[in-house]
Amino acid sequence: MQHAGPQGAHISPDTGAPVPQSAAVRVPQQLRAADVNRGRPAASGPTARPDAAAGTPVAGARGEHTHSEAPIPLPRTEQARPVVQRSSVRGQILDALRTALVGGELAPGEVYSAPALGDRFGVSATPVREAMQQLALEGAVEVVPNRGFRVVARGARELAELAEIRALIELPVLLRLARTVPAERWNELRPLAEATARAASTGCRATYAETDRAFHRAVLSLSGNTQLVQIADDLHRRAQWPLVDTKAATTRTALMEDAAAHTTLLDALIDRDVQLVQSLTRNHVTGAH
């Protein structure tokens, strides 16, 4: 029998350690070896794996290369999914991890090992580790020796700094484009703005994030500066990662308000209303979801 613990957790009768509740997410929580191997003879010796939930490093392990880590059992629906194709595996895993970050499936402050995530995606630990190292360069995760990768817990200050940088880069470009780009070119972007509205109506943060960035990339691409588009898109992606405070998670209503700003911005650009473009861009970037 499990006993209720702090913050909705349960206390294991075997170890007394808190056991996190399972959540319906695509990237599962790390499970304890004792739970997976319940009923099997306990391991002994220098390679024995202590309770993972207690955060104890594994004896004899290097980094998060924990080949002895117990596999994460997947639901039947998960097992029925085809594994990731071997072509461009690293890129597919990187995209999946970025989506999990935006959607909150990789929780801020939590540590995930490459072998365990590899089991989740049906691949070896190597492409997962490479993707996580890329995310570490982007500031999304940090390496935890002997354990894996911890999702960085961001605060409101970091989000404000990203918004300031985005405004410094994007605003001058939009003001110039407002004076030079003909109305028909802006009208060609309306389907992208409509796509953001449809995505926002679903309430899915990850789905909205993709369409939101696609719209902004299309707007900035009219400048003809591919380097600027890439830098702005990277900053935009970072601004979409959720804050550590889960209560501040973006609601469906907030997403729809953000999406509506895209159509309003297009109207201002078509009218060449520079002052309105400036005001809309500042408000949209600083309130980015």
Do 176 and 133 share a domain, yes or no?
no
**What is the band of 265 on the pLDDT scale with cuts at 50, 70, 90?**
very high
Owning domain of residue 108: 14-39+62-151
The DSSP result for 188-210, as a single string, is TTHHHHHHHHHHHHHT-HHHHHH
Listed residues 151, 178, 197: the one ending a domain: 151
Do 147 and 160 share a domain, yes or no?
no
Do 99 and 188 share a domain, yes or no?
no
Mean pLDDT of 273-277: 95
Cα 133 to chain centroid distance, Å, stands at 14
Q: What pLDDT does residue 64 have?
A: 53
63, 75, 100, 115, 122 from 80: Cα distances, Å = 31, 9, 20, 20, 11
Which residue from 65, 5, 71 is spatially nearest to 35, judged by alpha carbons?
71
Do 114 and 224 share a domain, yes or no?
no
Does residue 185 surpass a pLDDT of 90?
A: yes
- pLDDT tens-place string over residues 81-113: 545 455 488 899 999 999 888 888 888 899 999
Listed residues 122, 151, 180: the one ending a domain: 151
Which CATH number covers residue 183? 1.20.120.530
- pLDDT tens-place string over residues 2-48: 444 444 444 444 545 454 444 434 444 444 434 434 444 444 444 44
Do 212 and 126 share a domain, yes or no?
no
Do 138 and 161 share a domain, yes or no?
no
Listed residues 151, 184, 219: the one ending a domain: 151
31, 85, 97, 105, 114 from 91: Cα distances, Å = 26, 11, 10, 19, 15
Do 262 and 220 share a domain, yes or no?
yes
Do 86 and 113 share a domain, yes or no?
yes
Mean pLDDT of 235-249: 72
Task: Assess if residue 95 is contained within a domain.
Answer: yes
Mean pLDDT of 198-225: 95
Are the beta carbons of 91 and 176 closer than 8 angstroms? no
Q: What pLDDT does residue 88 have?
A: 83
Task: Assess if residue 67 is contained within a domain.
Answer: yes
Q: For the chain, give the mean pLDDT.
A: 77
64, 65, 235, 241, 245 from 108: Cα distances, Å = 18, 22, 19, 10, 9
Task: Assess if residue 239 is contained within a domain.
Answer: yes
Q: What pLDDT does residue 29 have?
A: 45
Do 206 and 270 share a domain, yes or no?
yes
Task: Assess if residue 209 is contained within a domain.
Answer: yes
Which CATH number covers residue 100? 1.10.10.10
CA distance 72 to 32: 9
CA distance 82 to 281: 42
Query: Cβ neighbours of residue 79 under 8 Å, at least 6 residues apart?
Result: none
**Residue 40 has what DSSP assignment?**
S
- 83, amino acid identity: V
CA distance 231 to 169: 9
Do 164 and 263 share a domain, yes or no?
yes
Number of domains composing the chain: 2
Task: Assess if residue 128 is contained within a domain.
Answer: yes
